[in-house]
């Protein structure tokens, strides 16, 4: 079972380990591109990592409109709780 909190914690670990973002810069309101310097290629790697977490297929389209960290958390949360 994934809560929004656990998804957020996992995202923070991806951002720090993979994208070398300063942990202090990450918050729910942070914008991926403008604030955290995460580009479209990084997003592909992020989706791969999120697949590992959820064990579900993720269509990149599901993330088409995400702008902030909060958006990602919500999108993943919806994904793991749909059925």
Helices (H) and strands (E) in the chain, counts: 3, 0
Residues that contact another protein, how many (by CB under 8 A)? 11
56 neighbors 80 (Cβ within 8 angstroms): yes
41 binds another protein (CB under 8 A): yes
18 binds another protein (CB under 8 A): yes
25 binds another protein (CB under 8 A): no
CB nearer another protein, residue 39 or residue 78: 39
Measured N-to-C along each axis, helices 40-54 and 69-81 cross at an angle, to the nearest 10 degrees, of 30
- Per CB under 8 A, the list member of 9, 33, 39, 56 interacting with another protein is 39
- Listed in sequence order, the residues at least 6 apart from 50 whose beta carbon sits closer than 8 Å to its beta carbon are 14, 58, 76
20 binds another protein (CB under 8 A): yes
Residues that bind another protein (CB under 8 A): 18-20, 39-42, 44-46, 48
């Amino acid at each position: 079972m994934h809560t929004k909190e656990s998804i957020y914690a996992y995202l923070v670990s991806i951002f720090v380990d993979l994208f070398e973002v300063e942990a202090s810069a990450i918050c729910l309101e942070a914008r991926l591109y403008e604030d955290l310097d995460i580009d479209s290629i990084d997003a592909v790697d992020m989706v791969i990592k999120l697949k590992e977490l959820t064990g579900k297929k993720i269509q990149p389209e599901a993330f088409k409109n995400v702008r902030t960290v909060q958006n990602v958390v919500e999108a993943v949360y919806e994904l793991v709780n749909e059925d």
